[in-house]
Structure 1
Amino acid sequence: MFPTPSRPCPPDTPGTRPAPRGRALATGAALSALALGAGLITAVPAAAAADTPLISEVYGGGGNSGAVLRHDFVELGNPTDAAVDVSGWSVQYLPARPGPSTRVQVTPLEGEIPAGEHYLIRQAAGTGGGADLPEPDAAGNTNMSATAGTVLLVDGTGAVECRTAADCAADENVVDVLGYGAATIFAGSPAAGTGNTTSASRDEAFTHTGDNAVDFTVGEPTPTNSAGETATEPGGEPGEPVEPGEDRIHDVQGVTRTSPLAGEQVTGLPGVVTAINAFGGGRGFWFQDTEGDDDPRTSEALFVFTGSTTPDVAIGDEVLVAGRVSEYRPQAGAQTITQLEQARWTTLSRGNDLPEAILLEEDTLPTAYAPSDSGDITDRELEPDTYALDFWAANEHMLVRVEDAPIISPTDGYDALWVTTRPDENPTPNGGAHYGSYDDPNGGRVKIESLLDRAERPFPEANVGDTLAGVTEGPVYYSRFGGYLIRATTLGEHVSGDLEREPLRETARHEVSVATYNVENLGGADDQEAFDDLAEGLVTYLRSPDIVGLEEIQDNSSETDDGVVDADVTLDRLVDAIAAAGGPTYEWRQISPEDKKDGGVPGGNIRNAFLFNPARVQYVDVEGGDATTPVEVVEGERGVELSVSPGRISPGDSAWNSSRKPLVGHFRALNRDIYVVTNHFNSKGGDQSLHGVNQPPNRASETQRNAQAELVREFADELLAADPRANLVVMGDLNDFQFSRTLDIFTGDGALINPMVELLEPNEGYNYNFDGNSQALDHILVNGALAGRIDYRIARINSEFHDQVSDHDPQVLWIDTRAGTSPGRR
C-alpha cells in the first residue's frame, strides 16, 4: 500500500539615542555561559535600572490551535525617561538549539519608543486565531516557536553570528536577550516555556535583573504598541443596527490589489451572504453585492473575518455590514486579502437568491499568467482580461464555478486538489498539466478546497486523471499555499479515471540498472509500514534495480535531535524490508554527516546513500571517506580511481552550507566500472511563488543550487578529463527543472546529457506535482560514453496518486554493457 504522508506543512524618525549603554545582557548571560560550561551555580544579580530599551514580551503561538491572536509578536519596552530612537536596530530570532549553520531571522526596526512605553513588532501569522494585534510599530515574517526560542534586541541590522550564550554575551551589538523554554541562549537562566495561548513578559516596571527566569513570567499575551493600543477581538456583536451607507463593496475593493479604504471604517455595505467558514480560527462569511458597478476590475464581494467565532448568519441572508477595512497578507510576498474586521451587521431578510456564479470556462482565464518584468504588482491597476492573476484579484471573494473539471493533482494531506479549465493546456499522458517553461505556468489551474462539513461531505480522495463531475462552486479566496482558490460550497461528484501504477520492465542480463529515489525523510525510528511500502515500490514497480541512489535518508532516531548521526538502523531496516518483499539482499554505503550540518529537519541529519545488489554489482571500497574529506580523482593500478569511495564532493565548500553533500560511489558490474554521484541539492523553499506579488518571481534559491551544480560539474570534468570514456552517472533530487540554469550547468558544452529530455516526449518529463503542475525535480544525467547505450523510464507510482509513499517518483536508467566495449577496465 502507498499511504498519504503528512506534510510539513511546504523572510528614521527623530528621537533621542541613548549614550553608550550598560550591557543589558552581559552579566547574566556571561555567568550563564560559565554555568553551562563548568557546571557552576550562578547567583541572580540584583535588579538594576536599565538604561536602554528591553525586550518586554514575546509570543510565538499566533494562529496556532486554540490561539486568540493571529500573529506572533515581540514587544519592546523603554524604561528610560526619554524617547529612544531604534531606527537601524533589529530584533533577531534563533531557534531553541541553534547550530553553527543556523540562520538567524532579522526584523529591522524604525521609529522611536516613547519614554516608559512599548513598541510592537508583529511577526508571522498562523491559520487560526481570532484577534488582530494593534497597529504594529514594525513588522516581520518570523515564525517563532510557541514553546522555546531566543529573541535578541540588536543595535544594528546585521545578523548576529553568535550561536551560544557566551558568544551572544560578548557581542557588543546585542542589547538584550530573552531565551524561553528549552533555549540554549539566554540571560541568567531561561524563562519558562510558553504555549499557544501564553507569552513571556516583564512586569510594567520593566524589572531587569539579568536573569530571564526572574524577569519574565508566563501569562496571557498583552501586546501593546507605542500608542498604547492593545489587541482587539474581531467583533461580530450586533450592537446598534447598521444603517445604509454611501459606500458599496466595489468602492472598498477598488481597481488594484489593495483597498483604497484600507484602515478606515465603513458602514452600511449591502449584499447577500454567499458562503460561511464555520471551521478553524479563520471563521467568517462572504457577502456579495447583487447590483455592482459593471467595472470588471472591481470585485463585488468581501469576506467578513470573525476569528474563532462562527458568525450568526445563513447563506441567502440580505445584510448591511459595517467594519474596519483591512488587508491580510498570509506571508511576505503573498497577495493580500481585502476583508472587514471588527465587523457588525444587520440582517434585513433571509432566503434570498444568490448572485450567479461566474463560470470558469476554457477561455475565461487569460492565457497570460501575470505581468512580466513588473516587480511588485500590488498597486498596479488590474487588467483582468489580460492576466490570470489579475482576473483572480478582480474577482476576489466572488462566487465562481467549474463544471466537469479534470483533476490535475492528487488530493493532498490538507484536503485540497487542483483542476484545470483548459484540459488541452500542456497535457501529460495521465491527465495532468506539464510545467515545461518559466513562461507558461499553466494559467488554467484552479485549486479547490471545501467549506462543507467533512462528516457530512467527505473530501474526495482523487488521483490525477479523475474528474469532479457536475458543479463545483464557491467564493474565490487566497492562501499562501497555492494562491487563489475556490472555497467550495458545492462540490462536484468524484469520478475515478482508473489510474493504475504500472511496473517498469525487468533488467536484461547484459544491462546494469541504476535508479534514484527520494524516500521523503525515511528514518530509523519510523513505523515499519514506511519501510514495507518503499520496499514494495522498489521490488514490484522498479524491479529491484542493481544500484539505487537514495535521497532523504535520516539517522537512526529519525527527527529526534539527540546527537545521533549514523543511519545503519535506517538502511538495515530498508534492506530487510526489500528482501522480505521478494527482492535481493542489498548492501549499502553512505557517509554520516556532521550533526545538524546538512539541512533538513533539525536532528534528522538527512543524507544520500547507495543500495546495490551484490549478486550483480561489486562495490569498489576505498577507505577514508568521511563527512569532511573531499573525494578526488586519482590514478590507480587499473587506471582512474577515487581517492575515497564512498566520498563526498567538496564538503567544506560554502555551497553546501545547511545542505546535503553529494555522495560518490565506484561500482563494477559486467566488466564495467561505473561512477555514480547521487545528489540532493538545495531546496526551492526560498523562492517567491508563482502567485505572489512579485512578478516575475525571484528564484533566490537558485544561487546556491547553481554553485552546487558547478562543484559537481567540476568533479565530472575532472573524471572525464582523466578518462574520457569513463561511465559516469550523475543523478538525484536536483530540486530544479530540466530548463533551469542548474541543469544547463551540467549539460553545457555537451558534458552530460539528460535522458528525460533526449528520450521522452516533452510532456512526459515530470516526477513531482506541485500546485497542480506536473514538473521535474529529479534527474539522471550521463556522459557521452553512455549516451548511445541507455534506456530510461520514470516509475509513476507517487506524484499522481493521493496514497503516496513519497512525493517524488523514482527513475531507472538501464545501461547496455554490450555496446561500445573497449579494452581494459571499461
Structure 2
Amino acid sequence: MTTAGHHHRTAGFGRAGRSRTGLAAAALAGALVVPMTALATDDAAAEVAPPGDGTDCVVISEVNSSGGSGGGVFTHRYVELENICDVAVDMSGWSIQRWNASSHQAGETTLLDGHSIPAEGHFLIQGVASNQGDEPLPSPDLETTINFAAASSSIVIAATEDSLAGLAGDVTGDADVVDALGWGSPPVWLGDSRPPGGNHNPDVLTRVDYTGVNGADFAVAPSSPTNSAGQTGGPEPLPPYDGPATLLINEAYSQGGEDGSIYSDRYVELYNYGSEDIDLTAWSIQFTNAAGNYTSSANLDGVVPAEGHFLIAFEGGQGDDEGVSLDDHADFVVGNWFSSLAYSLYLTTSTTQVSVPTGAVDPTEWEDIVDVLGFGDAHLWSGDAPAETLDSLTDVRAFQRVTDWDGPSLNNEADFDLVEEFVATNSAGEELPGGRDGGPGEPEDPIEVSIAEIRGAVSLDPQDAALYGESVSTSGVVTAVYSDADNDSRAHDGFYLQTPGACGAESFSGEYPEVPCAIFVHMGTSWDGAEVDIDDYVEVTAIVSSWRETGASESAQLQLVSASIEQLDGDAQPVVPVTYDGFVAVEDRPYLLGMLIEPAGEWTVTDNYSLLHGNPDSIGGWVGIVDGEEPLRIPNTVYAPASAERAALAQENAERLIWLDHGGRNRWSSFAFDRHMPLPYLNTEQHVRIGAEVDFTAPVILEYRYDSWRFQPTAFLPGNPELEPATFSDTRDENAAPPARAGDLRLAGFNVLNYFPNLGEDEPGCGYHEDRFGDPTTADWCDVRGAYSQQHFETQQARIIETIVAMDADVVALQEMENSAQLNHVDFSRDYAHEVLIEALNEVEGEGTWDFVSVDEFPESEDVIRNGYIYKPAVVEPVDSVILFEGGVEHLGELADLTIEGQTLSEVYSNAREPMAAVFQPVDGDEDDRFITIVNHLKSKGGSGTGDNEEQYGEGAFNGDRTRQAMGMLAFANELEDYYGTDRIYLMGDFNSYELEDPLVVLEDGGYVNLSAQTGQWSYAFSSEVGSLDHVFATEAAASTVVQTDIWSTNAAESIALEYSRYEATGTPGLYDEPGWSQGVWRASDHDPIVADIVVGTQDEPGEEPGEEPTEEPTAPAPGEEPGDDGPGDDDGPGAGDDTGAGPGLPTTGANPAGLVAAAMLFLLAGAGIVAANRRRGTPASM
C-alpha cells in the first residue's frame, strides 16, 4: 500500500499489500530478539504511520555480512533499514528474514513488532558477532541471533510475522515482501542482477539507487551504520592515494597447499618499477572468482621500495600443510585464498571494492585499477584473453610476468607465462626459491650440524632458529611417525627426529637440555610413511623452514622440508624420554619442544568436547587433561568474578590445560572423508569421561601447536587404537545410579535438552544438521529445536525416560520442554509435549504412575521451550500452579505491577523462560505439609550485550538480565509464601549462573541456601572447565527438611560425541549399534540432573524419623558442552531490554514487592551495593 504524500523516492519493490497475524505469533521466530530501550526524539508528537501503512517507505540501506570476521571493523554484522518517507513507520507485524544459499537454512526470522523507524531516518539491526572486529556498533535498535554472514545470502523485510521459507528467485511484486536483497548466488533477490558476494571487509553492501534491482541498487562501499537516533559509526575514510602508481603484478602462485606444492601458501608478488618508494596504506588487492559472484579484498599495509618487490601471502588448500609456509617471509598475509585454476586478481589504489565489468579491461583507463591478472576462465582480465592456467591442481608452476616492467599488463595472455623455476621475493630482497621437484629447491651444500645447533636457541618462534632458511644435514633417531598410507585423512605427514640418548648424554640428571634436541621433518601430504619407522637411525638433508597452522595466531612449527633420508649403519643409543612429572612451568616447556617425554604423576580428563569439534580449524580428536586428580574448576565457582583471585585462577587453569592429541588434523565435524575415520581414545569400551584418571602407557611428544601445549602421540591414531599412549578409568560404574533415597519425598531438576515430540521433518522449510552420510539428525534454525526424525526422537526420549525412572523422584522440575502452542505449523495445546512424556513414562512404570502440572494462566507470547513439572500422583498432589507474568500473578499482592530497575515483568523475562511455581501437598499429609517449588531457566550466557549485559569477569553475556530475573524470582517467592502460607520454598532449574555470580548472590542475600553448592559436585562443563549452572536453593525452613542433595553425573561428564544428536558423526566401530546407542542414562542431556530428598515438616520435630543418613561421598563430577550453544541446546526465546543498572540489594525472604523496589532504589543511590561487595570479597566457595 502506498501512503500518499510521504514519498521522497520510489520504493515498494516487493509487496502489493500485506497481512498481519495475531500477537501470539510473537514467539514463533526462529531467532532471539532483544528489543532495545527506546531512544527519545526531539519531536515527541512525531507523526507515525499506523500499522499497515509505510510498506512502500522502508528499504534495506546497508548490509554488513562480514562484520566480526577477519579484516572487519565492527564486532557484529548488521542490517540497516532506511525510511524514505516524511512520516515515521510502525513496523508492528513485520519481520526480518534471512536465507543462506549454502545450507539448509531458510527463513530465519526475527519479529519487528513494537518498533518504528523515524521519518527519513534509519533503523539498525545488530546480528551475531565473531568477535574479531574492534569497534562496537552505535547503539542498535534491535539485536538478533540471525547470522547475516555468508558469501551468498538473502535478507528480506517481510510484511508478515510468518516465515516465508518457501520464497525463491526474484520476489519482485510479492505481496509479503517489503524489500529484499540477495548477493552473490542467493536464493532470493530483486530484479535481474545481484551485487557480488564474498568477504567485503572492511566494506559493506550499501544502497546507491532505488530501482528495485539489487545489482543496480547496491555497491561495495565503506560502512556507516546508523541507528534511529542518527548515531553513525565507522572508521574515518582514508584520503585518496595521490602518489606514484608504478606497481605491477610480477608473479602469482596459485597452487599453494595442494598435493606436491612448493609452498603451503599462495602468493602474489608485486614489483615497483619506479624510482620512489610506495606506501600501500590506501591500496588493496582484490580478487573475484570465475563466476563473478564472489569478490573479496584485502587492504594492504607496508612500503614497496623503489625497484623492489612486495610479497603478499594468501591461504593455501588442503589445510595449508603441503609445502613451505610463506607467513614468516611475506610482507603481508591475507586470511583468504584464491582458486588455483581460474581467478581474477587486481591491484587498486582504493580500499573500497571496485565494481568491475565482465571480460577485458584496460588498467590504464579504469579508475583505481593499477594492474590486472586474470587466468583460466577468469571473470576479468586485461587484453585479448586471460593468461594460460595450470594443467591441474598438481601442476606446481607459477604465473610470471615475462614482458617489460614498465607498466601494467595490457594483455594477460601475452604478458604472463607459466614457469617451472621461480623465486618469491619480499621487500627486504629475501628470496625463497621454487622448483618443479615439489620443494623449495634441493638443499645445496648442506651444513653438517646437530639438531640442537639447528635450533641454536630456546624459542617458540621458528625464525629464532640459528640456521633458519639454511640447507643442513643432521642425524638422529626417529621418535614419532605420522602418516596415513591410504591418504584419506589428515596425519601430520612427517616424523620427529631426536639426538640419541639424553640429547647425546646418558641421562638428563634431573635437568632440562640447554636447547631442545628434536625437530619435525615434514614429508608432504602424499607421504605414506614408507621411508622410516620409529627407532630408525637416519641422516636427513633438508632446508630449515616453518609452518603456521591454520587458525593459530601465535604458534608455528620449526621443521625440515624437502628432505632426503639415508638410513645409517650401526645402532644408535636409544632416546631417553624426559620425565614430565605433573605441572611443568610454562617458561620451562620450550626446553623440551618436540622431544620425547614420559608423563608421570596424576593426570585427569578435564575436556572431552574437543574429541569431536570446537577447536581451531574445526579439528577434533583432542582430550583436555590436567595434572592432579580433579578437572579444572570454572573460576567463578570458587572466587568472586571481579576478584584478583578469580583472574589468577583463570590464568592458572589456562597454563595447566594440556591437550592429548591424535597425531593429525582430522575434522570430524566437516570434511566427509575425515568424518568416516574412527575417533581416537573413545570407543564402546572406553568412554573418556571428564574426571576420569589418565594412565599413560607410552611416551609422547611435547608440542606447542594451535597456540596451546599438547602431548602428541608417536603415531597417527584414527584407525590405530593399539597405538594410543593412554587409557582412561571407567567412572560410569560409580555413577550408574543416584544415591539411595533418604527422607519422605524426592525432588529433582532436569534440563532435557530440547525435548520436542514435534519433529523437524514435519515443519515446512526446516533445515537440519547432518550425520556423516548426509542424513538429518536434529533441526537447524527452525521453530522446533530437537530431533529431525522419529528415529532420533525415540533415541532421545528413551534416554530421558531411563533417567527419570532411575532418579526415583516424586516431583521433577523440567527445563527445555517443547511449548507446542508456540509452533507455527501445528495446532496443539501448550502441554502436548508433557502429555507425550507422561504417556511414555507410564508405559514403562504403569498407568497412572506419572502426571504433569498444568496452569490456567500463561503468557500469550512465550518461547518455544518452557519449564514444567511432572509428578507421581500417588505421592503428592498439586494444589496450585502459577507462572510469573503480569496476567498470572494478579492475585499475589502488587506483584503484577512490579518493576525491577525500570523494567516490567514482561521486559525482565523477555529473553528467558518465566518461572513456574507449583504448590504441592503430600497425599498422606495436610495443609501444614505443603511446600512450593519454583522452576526457572534464566537467560543463557551466549551472544553479546551492552551495559551490564556486556561479557566480563568470565560471567558470559547478559549477567545483568539474569540478575534482574533472579530479583523477580525472589519477589515471586515472597508473595507465594504470604499467599499460600508456607515458608518451605525450593528454587530449582537452570540458572545459567555459577556459584559466585551476581544472580546467585542475589538469591543468597535474599535468604536462600544453595544446597547444590554444598555437594562439591558440578553439573556442566564449558571450555575445559567444570561448574554448576543447575541448582537447588531453599529457604531456611525448606533447607531444614533436606536430608540429601546430589548431582547425578550421567550427562555432563560424557562426550558430546555420545549425544543422540551426534548419531553417525564418526566412523567409530560399534558406537551407533542398537540397542546400546538408545539404551542407558548416559548423555541424555548436556546438563546433569539434580535430586534433593526431603522430609515432610522439619528434621528437628519431635518424633520425626528422617530415614537413612545422606551419602557422605558425592558422585563423580560431570561436565558437557557450552551454555547457549548453537544447539541443540539452550536457544533463547524473545529478547530482553538492555538497560544498564547496578547490582541488587534485596530484602530477606518475606519482604513485599514494594520493599523490593525500595531496596533496589536504595542500592542504585548507594552506587555500590551487595553484589559489588561480594565481587570484591574474593572468598572461595566451598568445594
Alignment of 1:425-824 (within 5 A): 436-437=638-639, 438=646, 440=649, 444-451=656-663, 459-460=682-683, 461-462=686-687, 463=689, 464-471=691-698, 473-476=700-703, 478=705, 484-488=709-713, 489=715, 490-492=723-725, 494=727, 496-497=729-730, 499-500=732-733, 501-504=735-738, 511-524=744-757, 525=759, 526=787, 527-540=793-806, 542-543=807-808, 545-555=809-819, 568-582=831-845, 584-589=849-854, 598=863, 605-621=864-880, 629=886, 631-632=888-889, 634=891, 654-669=907-922, 670-671=925-926, 672-685=929-942, 699-720=956-977, 725-748=982-1005, 751-758=1007-1014, 760=1015, 764-770=1016-1022, 773-791=1025-1043, 792-801=1045-1054, 803-819=1082-1098
Residue from 84, 92, 99 that aligns with 2:110: 99
Alignment of 1:222-371 (within 5 A): 223-226=296-299, 232-233=316-317, 234=320, 235-236=322-323, 237-243=438-444, 266=469, 268=471, 274-276=480-482, 284-285=492-493, 290=498, 318=540, 320-321=542-543, 326=548, 328-329=550-551, 336-339=554-557, 345-349=562-566, 358-362=578-582, 364-366=583-585
Q: Are the aligned partners of 1:241 and 1:345 in contact in 2 as well (CA < 8 Å)?
A: yes
- TM superposition shift of 1:582: 1.5
Secondary structure of 1:744 counterpart: helix
Q: Are the aligned partners of 1:224 and 1:231 in contact in 2 as well (CA < 8 Å)?
A: no
CA separation of 1:322 and 1:260: change in aligned 2, threshold 3 A: closer
1:16 is matched with none
Secondary structure of 1:678 counterpart: strand
- TM superposition shift of 1:701: 4.9
Secondary structure of 1:241 counterpart: coil
Q: Are the aligned partners of 1:677 and 1:729 in contact in 2 as well (CA < 8 Å)?
A: yes
RMSD: 6.1
2: CA distance between counterparts of 1:258 and 1:319? 22
Q: Are the aligned partners of 1:259 and 1:327 in contact in 2 as well (CA < 8 Å)?
A: no
CA separation of 1:59 and 1:89: change in aligned 2, threshold 3 A: closer
Q: Are the aligned partners of 1:549 and 1:678 in contact in 2 as well (CA < 8 Å)?
A: yes
1:114 is matched with none
Residue from 208, 211, 216 that aligns with 2:214: 211
Secondary structure of 2:110 counterpart: coil
Deviation readout 1:271-330 (Å, 9 max, x if unpaired): 888453758887644666757999999988788999987688867673634657647545
CA separation of 1:495 and 1:322: change in aligned 2, threshold 3 A: closer
Give the letter aligned to residue 470 of structure 1. Answer: T
1: CA distance between counterparts of 2:887 and 2:184? 39
1: CA distance between counterparts of 2:132 and 2:729? 54
2: CA distance between counterparts of 1:241 and 1:741? 63
- Alignment of 1:32 with 2:32, yes or no, is no
CA separation of 1:474 and 1:566: change in aligned 2, threshold 3 A: farther
- Alignment of 1:408 with 2:671, yes or no, is no
Q: Are the aligned partners of 1:270 and 1:289 in contact in 2 as well (CA < 8 Å)?
A: no
Number of aligned residue pairs: 638
CA separation of 1:230 and 1:447: change in aligned 2, threshold 3 A: closer
2:35 is matched with none
- TM superposition shift of 1:586: 2.0
1: CA distance between counterparts of 2:291 and 2:860? 36
1: CA distance between counterparts of 2:133 and 2:526? 35
CA separation of 1:574 and 1:476: change in aligned 2, threshold 3 A: farther
Question: Bigger shift: 493-502 or 776-785?
Answer: 493-502
Secondary structure of 2:841 counterpart: helix
CA separation of 1:705 and 1:505: change in aligned 2, threshold 3 A: same
* TM-score in terms of structure 2 length: 0.44
CA separation of 1:434 and 1:738: change in aligned 2, threshold 3 A: closer
Give the letter aligned to residue 589 of structure 1. Answer: S
Give the letter aligned to residue 1011 of structure 2. Answer: P
Secondary structure of 1:581 counterpart: helix
Secondary structure of 2:845 counterpart: coil
Secondary structure of 1:32 counterpart: coil
1: CA distance between counterparts of 2:564 and 2:829? 64
- TM superposition shift of 1:753: 0.2
Structure 2 residue ranges without an equivalent (≥5): 1-8, 21-60, 80-96, 100-107, 113-124, 135-144, 157-162, 168-178, 219-288, 301-311, 324-437, 505-510, 613-620, 640-645, 667-676, 716-722, 760-786, 788-792, 898-902, 946-950, 1056-1081, 1103-1149, 1151-1183
CA separation of 1:88 and 1:517: change in aligned 2, threshold 3 A: closer
- TM superposition shift of 1:773: 4.1
Question: Bigger shift: 278-287 or 765-774?
Answer: 278-287
2: CA distance between counterparts of 1:95 and 1:105? 13
1: CA distance between counterparts of 2:524 and 2:184? 28
Secondary structure of 2:482 counterpart: strand
1: CA distance between counterparts of 2:456 and 2:858? 55
Give the letter aligned to residue 580 of structure 2. Answer: L
State the identity as a percent.
16
Give the letter aligned to residue 673 of structure 1. Answer: R
Q: Are the aligned partners of 1:665 and 1:677 in contact in 2 as well (CA < 8 Å)?
A: yes
Q: Are the aligned partners of 1:407 and 1:419 in contact in 2 as well (CA < 8 Å)?
A: yes
- TM superposition shift of 1:458: 6.2
Secondary structure of 1:471 counterpart: coil
Give the letter aligned to residue 917 of structure 2. Answer: V
2: CA distance between counterparts of 1:53 and 1:297? 58
2:1071 is matched with none
- TM superposition shift of 1:720: 4.9
- TM superposition shift of 1:789: 1.3
Structure 1 residue ranges without an equivalent (≥5): 1-25, 39-51, 61-70, 75-85, 112-140, 153-162, 166-174, 367-382, 386-390, 599-604, 645-649, 689-693
- TM superposition shift of 1:340: 7.5
Deviation readout 1:461-504 (Å, 9 max, x if unpaired): 23444543412524535569xx5433433523536446423434
Give the letter aligned to residue 799 of structure 1. Answer: A
Q: Are the aligned partners of 1:326 and 1:340 in contact in 2 as well (CA < 8 Å)?
A: no
CA separation of 1:642 and 1:450: change in aligned 2, threshold 3 A: same
2: CA distance between counterparts of 1:395 and 1:656? 53
Question: Bigger shift: 791-800 or 805-814?
Answer: 791-800
2: CA distance between counterparts of 1:88 and 1:806? 35
1:417 is matched with 623
Alignment of 1:154-193 (within 5 A): 178-179=182-183, 188=191
CA separation of 1:729 and 1:192: change in aligned 2, threshold 3 A: farther
Q: Are the aligned partners of 1:281 and 1:308 in contact in 2 as well (CA < 8 Å)?
A: no
Q: Are the aligned partners of 2:1012 and 2:1031 in contact in 1 as well (CA < 8 Å)?
A: yes
CA separation of 1:709 and 1:554: change in aligned 2, threshold 3 A: same
2: CA distance between counterparts of 1:516 and 1:59? 41
Deviation readout 1:681-723 (Å, 9 max, x if unpaired): 33344699xxxxx997674453443333233234334545778
